[in-house]
């Protein structure tokens, strides 16, 4: 579907987003408002960042409901309050490290949250539901090729187990619902980056904090490879998937990887690219010289997978969806967002400006060059 048709398709549609005040959820909510959808949200809002996003999303016409995704009665009460055309389930505990520190909350949030949203949808029957997990749902293995949708679920830590279990919960409900409403699909995200992510223990927020304060960038493992992708590419993919479920071009029960083309990039490459754009933005008179990258060993007590690649070809083909932003484009957009906010632009305005530019110029089919550019 061409992007010129997105406004027509989403204009006036009623949408519910669980986790609307999270990083990805807020970009999705703002994009849907840009497309004139009616948007409701459901979130716990238990951090300063989520409370701030909830406030400015409300000012942009998003009706937020406060609640815990682990509370079925609260989830059902919200979902039964309107005939929703689409539900996007993003509410989760999203950080691998927190899974080690607080496995109980991680497991109950990510597993019970999926049970509750899918059971509420079974009873309330929205038209479509997009269920979101993570590429960490796959069982760790030693060989280097990318994970595919048919690979085994598993995990080597509480966070991974929670995502694998959420996928199994989805599989059970998908078989139960079959072709009836709601039509459901699950998405396994690769690493999502963009402006406004304030989550602790993540590369982009930590790198931006170092750059803005003029301190060295510290990386847990500079050589770790991940499938980085900009949040707006992901948001567009979610909208295309919901539309494809609605019109029957994607079968109910489908699970898709959302990942950029190519083999991914290292943490060091992403941090270096962010630093280069930051330096270009502030000029050589900025508060720091070229930042120093401290590589392996910064956090030796935390174990994570060195190589994580994700095969996104099935989603690209099924949705005619291709990434606009390569690594360089994404880094430039992140720096632009944060520099704009540091200069006094409200975060919601910086977000809205990037959404408007992205959807005004992205063509319906423009495969991103995995080296960072965009092919016409």
Query: Per residue in 21-33, pLDDT tens?
Result: 999 999 999 999 9
Average pLDDT, integer, range 190-214: 92
DSSP letter for 178, please: T
Question: For all residues of the chain together, what is the average pLDDT?
Answer: 89
Residue spans of beta strands (DSSP E) within 191-230: 192-193, 217-218, 225-226, 229-230
Contact 137, 144 (CB under 8 A): no
Q: pLDDT digit string (tens) for 92-119?
A: 999 998 999 999 999 999 999 999 999 9
* Exposure letters 130-156 (e unless 16+ CB within 10 A, then b): bbbbbbbbbeeeeeeebbebeeebebe
pLDDT-wise least confident of 84-98, 143-157, 308-322 = 143-157
318: which residues sit within 8 A by CB, 6+ positions away? 244, 249, 250, 254, 256
Contact 253, 190 (CB under 8 A): no
| Confidence class for position 301, pLDDT limits 50, 70, 90 | low
| Confidence class for position 281, pLDDT limits 50, 70, 90 | confident
| Confidence class for position 193, pLDDT limits 50, 70, 90 | very high
Polymer length of the chain:
376
Query: 199: buried, middle or exposed (CB in 10 Å: 19+, 13-18, 0-12)?
Result: middle
Contact 188, 133 (CB under 8 A): yes
Query: 82: buried, middle or exposed (CB in 10 Å: 19+, 13-18, 0-12)?
Result: middle
CA distance 138 to 148: 9
Specify which residues 193 forms β-bridges with: 230
DSSP letter for 136, please: G
Contact 85, 245 (CB under 8 A): no
pTM, two decimal places = 0.92
pLDDT-above-70 percentage for the chain: 88
């Amino acid at each position: 579907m061409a992007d010129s048709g997105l406004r027509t398709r989403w204009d006036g549609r009623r949408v519910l987003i669980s986790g609307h005040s999270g990083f990805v959820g807020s970009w999705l909510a703002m994009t849907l408002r840009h497309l004139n959808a009616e948007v409701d949200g459901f979130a716990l809002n238990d951090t300063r960042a989520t409370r701030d996003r909830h406030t400015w999303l409300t000012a942009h016409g998003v009706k937020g409901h406060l609640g815990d995704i682990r509370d079925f009665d609260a989830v059902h009460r919200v979902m039964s309050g309107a005939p929703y055309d689409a539900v996007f389930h993003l509410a989760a505990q999203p950080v691998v490290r927190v899974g080690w520190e607080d496995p109980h909350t991680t497991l109950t949030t990510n597993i019970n949250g999926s049970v509750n949203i899918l059971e509420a949808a079974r009873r309330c029957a929205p038209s479509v539901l997009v269920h979101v997990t993570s590429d960490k749902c796959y069982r760790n293995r030693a060989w280097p090729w990318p994970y595919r949708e048919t690979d085994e679920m598993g995990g080597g830590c509480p966070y991974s187990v929670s995502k694998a279990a959420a996928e199994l919960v989805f599989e059970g409900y998908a078989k139960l619902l079959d072709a009836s409403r709601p039509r459901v699909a699950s998405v396994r995200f690769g690493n999502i980056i963009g402006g406004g992510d304030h989550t602790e223990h993540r590369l982009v927020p930590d790198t931006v904090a170092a750059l803005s304060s003029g301190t060295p960038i510290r990386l847990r493992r500079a050589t770790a490879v991940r499938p980085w992708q900009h949040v707006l590419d992901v948001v567009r993919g979610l909208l295309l998937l919901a539309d494809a479920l609605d019109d029957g071009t994607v079968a109910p029960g489908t699970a898709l990887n959302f990942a950029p083309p190519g083999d991914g990039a290292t943490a060091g490459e992403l941090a270096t690219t962010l630093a280069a754009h930051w330096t270009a933005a502030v000029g050589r008179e900025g508060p720091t010289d070229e930042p120093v990258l401290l590589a392996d060993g910064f956090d030796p007590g935390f174990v994570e997978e060195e190589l994580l690649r994700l095969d996104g070809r099935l989603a690209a083909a099924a949705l005619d969806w291709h990434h606009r932003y390569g690594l360089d484009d994404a880094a430039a957009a992140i720096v632009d967002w944060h520099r704009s906010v540091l200069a006094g632009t409200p975060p919601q305005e910086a977000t809205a400006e990037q959404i408007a530019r992205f959807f005004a110029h992205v063509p319906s089919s423009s495969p991103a060059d995995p080296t960072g550019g965009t092919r016409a």
